Amino acid sequence: MIREIVVYPDKRLKLISQEVKDFDGGLCDLLDDMYDTMIARNGVGLAAIQVGVDLRVLIINIPLEDEDGENYGEERNPNDQPKDNTLEMINPIVTHKEGHEKFQEGCLSIPGVYEDIERAKYVKVDYYDRKGNKQTLENSSFLAIAIQHEIDHLDGKVFIEKLSYIKRKKFEKEWKRKQKEGLI
Ligand code: CO
C-alpha cells in the first residue's frame, strides 16, 4: 500500500526514530508499504519517518548498473529494479567510516532539490533484516552514500542541513516561494 510522503519542513522529519523491538507482521507491513511508496515515487531510498513512522527502519533500492553513478535520489524508472534488489535495514549502526566523497543527492521529502553533499566514502554498518537476523555490510560506492543519507533521517536530519549557510538560505527562500505558489 502506498503511503503519503512527509514533506519538508514537516516537524516529523526532525524526530529521532525509535529502535525496532518487535520483528513482527507490523514491521513487514511497514517495509512492504515503504517499498510500494518508494517505487511509486521513483525513489531510490526511504526512511520510515518519511511515511510518518518514527522507527529505525530504512530501505534502499540498490542500482544494478549504476553502482558508480554520480547522483543519489534522482528519479528513475520504477520498473528496472526487482523487489529482491532492495536492501532493508532495521536499527542500523555505522561502526566504521572513512574517507570523503561528494555526491549529488536528492530526497523524496524535498522533491525537486538536488545538491552536492560530502559524506564518508566507506562505511561499515551493523543492522538487522526483517526476520531479526543481525547483518553486516561494507560499501564504498553509491550504496555507502545512500545508507548515510537514510540513517540521517532516523536521527532527524535531512541532507540540506549539510549545505553551507549561504546555500541553505537560498534553498529556504526558494522553498518558501515554491510553497506559496503551490508547487509543493
Ligand atoms: Co531523504
Q: What is the pLDDT of residue 128?
A: 98
Whether pTM > 0.85 for this model: the answer is yes
147 located within any domain: yes
Q: What CA–CA distance (Å, rounded) separates 16 from 180?
A: 29
Q: Span 129-147, mean pLDDT?
A: 96
5 located within any domain: no
Ligand 1 centroid to residue 37 C-alpha, Å: 13
Question: What CATH number is associated with residue 65?
Answer: 3.90.45.10
Q: What is the pLDDT of residue 64?
A: 61
Whether 13 has a pLDDT exceeding 60, the answer reads yes
Ligand 1 centroid to residue 160 C-alpha, Å: 10
The chain-wide mean pLDDT, for the chain, equals: 91
Ligand 1 centroid to residue 106 C-alpha, Å: 7
Q: Closest Cα to residue 4, out of 149, 152, 108, 112?
A: 108
What is the residue range of 172's domain? 11-180
Q: What are phi and psi of 31, to 5 degrees?
A: -60, -45
Q: Span 9-19, mean pLDDT?
A: 98
Q: What CA–CA distance (Å, rounded) separates 151 from 157?
A: 9
1 located within any domain: no
Q: Give pLDDT tens digits for 72-101.
A: 665 655 555 556 689 999 999 999 999 999
| Number of domains within the chain | 1
174 located within any domain: yes
Ligand 1 centroid to residue 47 C-alpha, Å: 7
What is the full DSSP assignment across 50-106?
A: GGT--BSEEEEE--STTTT-SEES----GGGS-GGGEEEEEEEEEEEEE--EEEEE-
| DSSP 8-state secondary structure symbol assigned to residue 161 | G
Ligand 1 centroid to residue 89 C-alpha, Å: 15
Q: Give pLDDT tens digits for 22-81.
A: 999 999 999 999 999 999 999 999 999 999 999 999 999 976 654 455 556 656 555 555
2 located within any domain: no
Residues acting as catalytic residues: 150
Q: Span 114-139, mean pLDDT?
A: 97
Whether 127 has a pLDDT exceeding 80, the answer reads yes
3 located within any domain: no
Ligand 1 centroid to residue 17 C-alpha, Å: 14
Q: What is the pLDDT of residue 17?
A: 98
23 located within any domain: yes
Q: Span 111-125, mean pLDDT?
A: 97
